[in-house]
Structure 1
């Protein structure tokens, strides 16, 4: 699995992404049951509200080899601040439309 991780720009000052990377490495939570090696192709932010840049950033990571786009828990669950992105659903829909059905989307990490 080759992963492109997209995280919330609003939380990057308080979260270095270590938990997202750790659960990938240990194949826990959203990555439980994945047999193959997980390679991180890239890590980027959504670009700030309303997350429009996430679409082109996801497409670029797919161009560079990602077969899976992961929206970090800060987007869908609001971790660590307890406030999920109000644009998360629309962002995910736009990413799916842009990258196509062959690319897997995982909508949280931990």
Structure 2
């Protein structure tokens, strides 16, 4: 098998308004921490994509656009990770993850980084 190409799908609202820059997912990938421990250094993070917004009706079309835009480059995900903002905090999680698993055509893993704060103000 060739190099792993990783796509992270998260909550649009959280990605836009709370987790600015999705830095914890990227740091987790770069450090191979959390669910990213399974990958060797050859694996690539090919994208971080929002679900499209509540209640997740746009996630499948967004995945199709990802494939369309990247297929001529030979860049399609071999693994999809569901970010913590979607996997643990979304009221539509079950429906969205079910749609992703039905259409991804590759393994879907719930989780990315382990850097979830226990509380806000503690250091």
TM-score category of the 2 structures, normalised to the smaller one: 0.7 to 0.9
1:36 Cα deviation after fit: 5.0
The two structures, once aligned, show a CA RMSD in angstroms of 1.7
Moved more, 64-73 or 50-59: 50-59
Higher Cα radius of gyration: 2
Match of 1:14 in 2: 18
Unmatched tracts of structure 1, length 5 or more:
78-83
Q: Check 1:4–1:22 CA distance in 2 against 1; reply closer, same or farther (3 A cut).
A: same
Q: Check 1:62–1:36 CA distance in 2 against 1; reply closer, same or farther (3 A cut).
A: farther
Unmatched tracts of structure 2, length 5 or more:
71-75, 114-123
Task: Report the secondary structure of 1:92's partner residue.
Answer: helix
Q: What's the TM-score, normalizing by structure 1?
A: 0.81
| Paired residues, number | 102
Q: Check 1:37–1:25 CA distance in 2 against 1; reply closer, same or farther (3 A cut).
A: same
Give the 4+ runs in structure 1 shifted more than 3 A: 59-63
